[in-house]
Structure 1
Amino acid sequence: MNKIKTTLRYLSLISFFATFTSCNGQNKAIQPEEKKIEIGVTVAQVDQTIWAIYQDKQSNYWFGSKENGVFYYDGQHVKHFTTKEGLVSNAIRGFQEDSEGHIYIETERGVSQFDGQTFKTLPIANPDSPSNDWVLEPADLWFRIGSTNNGVYRFDGTFLHLLKFPKSPEEEAFYRKYPNTGIRPYGLYTIYKDRKGLMWFGTASLGVCRYDGKTLSWHYEEQLQTTPNGGDFGTRAIFEDKEGMFWINNTRFRYNLKPNSTINTDFQKEDGIGYLDEKNKKAFPFFLSITEDNEGNLWMATYEEGVWKYDGKELIHYPIQEDKTTVLLFTIYKDNKGVLWLGSHNAGVYQFNGHSFEKFLK
């Protein structure tokens, strides 16, 4: 694949996954009673294009499809929700949950809130009203709503507020490189909240923007954006491991941010996992999604090359195929019990059985 085709291919992908998990209390007697969901259509399987996975506090699973709505699994049955049930759009990009157990479903056209019985579309604040400054409140939720906005939507419990990013130092260089492109470089591919509650935003072509509650700062490196074949990958995955080190897009380096630092001026870049094969200098994997299991191993999902596990010493490869067809992956997710799940572009959902990934609901 030449450089232009590779660039267009990677920039056409949209990944999206923002995940918040919560632990159930130890005293089951005080847990709120789960109400049976009456709406939706019962189906036998989930869609083949699952781009987002989430398990709620009641242990139900939510699977978001590319453009065919939501599939809800309660451990026994699968229900299908679409715009017919009240979703704002069938193009699902992520799930979140608030302290009251409401599920927020991010789509290409807006955000739907589900209270257990009905869907409500979150209102967007009037853009002509006095602007909302950037703030960082623990209970706020953050959404992309598509991948072309110059900014991020913050939900304060009442309204969604579109907050625009400051100008990136890489903006002019991007437009010199792609003068006639229709690509919007500030478009968001991912949102990540680290352990301190700071927000990280991965853009299509300008690297990472981080918000610490006071300052918005940018960080860009060519090796984080450009694949070995020359394609512009965008910033699709950001993750803080158990040691507090950050991984961005690929395994070549990891980043140690010093206390009270801004991302672009005060961090230590360390060697990451390196090459897959030092002898042949095979390229390090670019991943669309990453998580950490309960033992501290890193798991990285790539689009075409399956899953890579890093146990602190070596990379272990898990090819994912259906019959003889390569499964194209979009997300990897750890559920409340530590079980790993995969969402794919062409083969539905896979679940890790302790040894390999097997198809869910064959």
Structure 2
Amino acid sequence: MKYARVYALLLVFAFHISCEQNAKNKPQDNISKGHYSESQLKEAVAFKVPASMVRNVRKDKNGNILIASYLGVFRYDGTSFTNLTSEIISPRFSSFWDVLEDRKGNLWFGTKDSGAYYYNGKSFQHFTTRDGLGSNSALHIYEDKAGNIWFGTIGGVSRYDGKSFRNFTTKDGLPNNDINSIMEDKTGKIWFGTRGDACYYDGKTFTIFKNKDGKPFHNVWSIIEDKKGYIWFGDVDGLWRYDGSTFTNISQRGAYAIMEDKKGNIWTTGEVNPKTWALSRYDQKTVYNKKPVVSEIMSGGRMDFLGILEADDESIWFGTGVGVRRYDGKTITDFKGK
């Protein structure tokens, strides 16, 4: 009996140590420390809307708006918001960065430091470095024409073919392991914007993108291909356009995100000066001029204008440091608290 009691006490002690260790291994509370207070966390949960920083805004095949916010990924169906990630992680520890619906209708969620999640409408699957993901900072997600899912991380690029990951780093030819954007052009090249240079991957090798003077572009935040096949990208020197042979520095305005709307206007979010960011529109009638006409739709503080999307009704959605907004051509609606 005496030994049984000692054994029981040892089990309790081991359980206590295990609980302490698990607590230490929990994702660090990066959100509430230095970003969101307890009251803001409670507000986000109470309002049931994206009330924290929104890095990316996407669209699903039904036209619903998908919003990746630090405190959860939301879907807006035209009437109300639904938190798609409330079952897998608490608002305090979420820190979501990107969202994607693939061609099969499955959803992918990228996080700041918790890897990536896959959701087929019924159940979730969690991918981390243990499963082959190159880094748990899966900040950007992209699906190529072949159906591969690419993850841009702060540790390189990971490509998932549905069975396994293949990881690419500077050892494979990437100019920098910190990835800002991913885009496949009409020829099948995969473009990457990095904290260092821009490059493209042709399936075999990486080629660093350089301007006419032979100089690389630095800290490329966003890259798109427009309807004409021109490449647009934003770096530390502003907004650039590439027609296949010539580079044109369109504007000194920063381009954190770039989008072409149905009418051919080019929209950007980003820095106007060190203290001011803005939502800007480059008019489609002059967009291929050396200096297109640009309209500043709205301006604000630093990091107040992030991911951008055109909805089916042609309204413009954009992420902010405190939620998501919609511009219908006349009015800007802030959904925080609604």
Q: Counterpart in 2 of 1:104?
A: 108
* TM-score (norm. length: structure 1): 0.64
Give the strand-richer structure, 1 or 2.
2
CA drift of 1:272 comes to: 4.1
State whether structure 2 residue 88 is matched by structure 1 residue 86.
Answer: yes
State whether structure 2 residue 242 is matched by structure 1 residue 255.
Answer: yes
Q: Counterpart in 2 of 1:50?
A: 54
5+ long unaligned stretches in structure 2 = 1-44, 133-143, 287-291
* TM-score (norm. length: structure 2): 0.68
1:53 and 1:319 map into 2 onto residues whose CA distance is 18
CA drift of 1:87 comes to: 5.0
SS in 2 for 1:138: coil
5+ long unaligned stretches in structure 1 = 1-40, 128-135, 171-184, 226-233, 258-267, 275-283
Alignment deviations for residues 86-133 of structure 1 (CA, whole Å, 9 cap, x no partner) = 259712121222222101111122111111132211366866xxxxxx
Cα 1:187–1:310 shift into 2, 3 Å: same
Q: Pairwise mapping of residues 198-237 of structure 1 onto structure 2 (< 5 A)? A: 198-205=189-196, 207-220=197-210, 224-225=217-218, 234-237=219-222
SS in 1 for 2:122: coil
Q: Pairwise mapping of residues 148-227 of structure 1 onto structure 2 (< 5 A)? A: 148-149=154-155, 151-166=156-171, 185-205=176-196, 207-220=197-210, 224-225=217-218
2:216 and 2:161 map into 1 onto residues whose CA distance is 36
SS in 2 for 1:318: strand
Q: Counterpart in 1 of 2:66?
A: 62
State whether structure 2 residue 314 is matched by structure 1 residue 335.
Answer: no
State whether structure 2 residue 278 is matched by structure 1 residue 273.
Answer: no
Asked whether the 8 Å contact 1:86–1:118 carries over to 2, the reply is: no
Higher Rg: 2
Q: Counterpart in 2 of 1:77?
A: 80
Cα 1:240–1:42 shift into 2, 3 Å: same
Cα 1:165–1:356 shift into 2, 3 Å: farther
Q: Counterpart in 1 of 2:261?
A: 293
Give the helix-richer structure, 1 or 2.
2
Asked whether the 8 Å contact 1:199–1:211 carries over to 2, the reply is: yes
- Aligned pair count reads 263
Q: CA RMSD in A?
A: 2.9
SS in 2 for 1:319: strand
Asked whether the 8 Å contact 1:306–1:317 carries over to 2, the reply is: yes
State whether structure 2 residue 327 is matched by structure 1 residue 352.
Answer: yes
Cα 1:120–1:126 shift into 2, 3 Å: closer
CA drift of 1:202 comes to: 1.1
1:169 and 1:161 map into 2 onto residues whose CA distance is 14
Alignment deviations for residues 31-57 of structure 1 (CA, whole Å, 9 cap, x no partner) = xxxxxxxxxx88443223111112211
State whether structure 2 residue 123 is matched by structure 1 residue 118.
Answer: yes
State whether structure 2 residue 298 is matched by structure 1 residue 319.
Answer: yes
SS in 2 for 1:341: strand
1:65 and 1:186 map into 2 onto residues whose CA distance is 24
2:74 and 2:198 map into 1 onto residues whose CA distance is 31
Alignment deviations for residues 204-263 of structure 1 (CA, whole Å, 9 cap, x no partner) = 12x1121122331112566843xxxxxxxx110111122211122155542123xxxxxx
Highest relative contact order (Cα 8 Å, sep 6+), 1 or 2?
A: 1
Q: Counterpart in 1 of 2:227?
A: 242
Q: Counterpart in 2 of 1:141?
A: 149
Asked whether the 8 Å contact 2:108–2:117 carries over to 1, the reply is: yes
2:174 and 2:76 map into 1 onto residues whose CA distance is 45
- Give the aligned residue type for 2:166: H
